[in-house]
Amino acid sequence: MENKRNIWLDADPGIDDAVAFAMAFANRDRLNICGLSSVAGNQTSERVTGNALKLTVFLGAEDVPVVQGAVLPLLREIVPAGDIHGKSGLGYCELPSVEKKPAAENGILFLRDTILGLPEGEKMTLVPTGPLTNIALLLKTFPEVRERIDEIVLMGGSGAGGNVTATAEFNIWADPEAAQIVFGAGLPIVMCGLDVTQQCILTREQILGLYQSDKTVQHAYGEMLRFYLDSPSYKGSDGAAIHDAVTVLYLLHPRLFAGKRMHVEVDCSEGLNRGMTVCDMRRSQLQKPGDVLVLNQVDLPAFQKIVLDTLASYDAVSE
């Protein structure tokens, strides 16, 4: 796997997770995708695991192992985001049934074995785009993996304002205790939070263009994304944010993005600030060892072009 970056996807697909998968699977010449674990979040564990299995097959990545991870947050009850992602989790899109099954019964153990099974000298980049339950369980249960983790590039959090509440982003709010474990682990972290992801939109015209396409993959993603436009968060808006795709595009095209390093804590209290990522932006506190790189800028035209061109590339191969 020379010159390839070892990555593990951890997700709750989820429309924007599905876009992130498409970005990753189209770049397997640069990314060694070691596996994919599901986590309850956007929908129940059963539904998101089924979506992960279907998406790997649909996108020609049937060989990527899929495992089921946590079915519940560490301490909280699950609150699926069906109003944003639909009953199935993939909006209006109905993917074909598949025979593919999870690669193992215990997803966290499978992830641990995969990390420790890497060739000597190689490390894993973890790419979580859902609640951080699986990553927290991994770090707490198998601390021996820490030295084999290169970095964690996650979608979650916000330096200023939330989406599920006034102060919290959904993935962190869904399992704040898990998020605090991950942010407090002392590992290199890139936070692709709302500060940058809310800038990373596809316009209504771009989404409808995908939906109106007669090409299989582009139309399917148009069906997914069109659900966003009808959801309470985006109805009447000019477009929709493709949050989770930012993680993979950062790995592939880091120069598209900019950010600042800062210390991040997670509010695990009950009430108004549950799940808030408290980003210490004071000048005196910046650039300390172990701080998180919080992305906050993007080259939007380049982001949009890469997403649309990548989706089109699947249909070009099938023609």
Q: Which residues are catalytic?
A: 243
Pairing type for strands 292-298 and 257-266 reads: antiparallel
Q: What is d(CA 223, CA 24) in angstroms, rounded to the nearest whole number?
A: 20
CA atoms within 13 A on the CB side of 134: 32
Q: By the 8 A CB rule, do 83 and 74 touch?
A: no
